[in-house]
Structure 1
Amino acid sequence: MGRRIDYYDDPQAPKANSIVPSANVIVVNDEGDILLIRRSDNDNWALPGGGMDLGESLPETAIRETAEETGIRAEVTGLVGIYTDPRHVILYTSNNEVRQEFSVVFTARPVGGKPTPSDESTEVRWVPPAEVGALPMDRSMRMRVDRYFMAPEDVHLG
């Protein structure tokens, strides 16, 4: 498996060669904990999510990716924000794809399943808000999570 390398406003970053609509999901349980994965491609903690497939809506992408990466079935409940900063690019070393950021972040609630790692996640767990800040996380993912915690009912554009 290749690696994922995020670049932000870096003059040494490779130039983007693709753009893929993607969804990330903040799944919140009844205790207020959020579902996080430890990514297998960069070892950082992140929200579940991924690229949209032909024939599905972006909320369907959010539900599918959450189930694939975490084992948790979820129901979308809201929108956190839309993130399309062209200064953020992601290199996938397996195929040299360099994506320009295009991520829509949803909120969701769990409706079934149990936290289960996948090929894309080495660890899956419910994390109390007070513990999220101590986890290693890419700058862009941290920004999404922090914005949710600052105003969980607001929509953010970034």
Structure 2
Amino acid sequence: FSRRIDRILVAATKADHLHHESHDRLQAIVRRLADRAVARANFTGADVDVVAMAAVRATREGTVRQGRETLPVIIGTPIAGEKINGETFDGKTETAIFPGDLPENIDAVFDVSGADHRQDSADPAIRFVRFRPPKLERTAEGVTLSLPHIRLDRALQFLIGDHLA
């Protein structure tokens, strides 16, 4: 009797730190990063899936008008001590931030010769704010509801769904 790995899930976690409009792009970037490993796994007969997910969704989505432009934002409560544009958060105050856009052309992410490459910069090109998980809600009967997530159900279905049927 030998065990065989028949499914591999490559997960881009913390998808709640991006607006859903960027989730497909995040998945494409992660798939590109894992291309060779995915090809080897497929060669051995394993099914491979790539998913942008969040086991616990700490933010929700909204929009903000700035002039004539409507920007997609994520809304959440930054962990105490987190800083955004010089403002330090107390862990209780909710805020909306524009998380930026991932490029439509994922090749731009991997182009180290491009004008946007900031290897010599003292500031990091990417910075993620850490958010508190949401407060657990209860029904009128006092039943605690589950934590919100993004595609955790899809990940579990892919990995163990047939074992539960």
Higher relative contact order (CA 8 A, sep 6+): 1
> Which structure has the bigger radius of gyration?
2
The answer to whether TM tops 0.5 is no
TM-score (norm 2): 0.25
Higher strand share: 1
**TM-score, structure 1 length as denominator?**
0.26
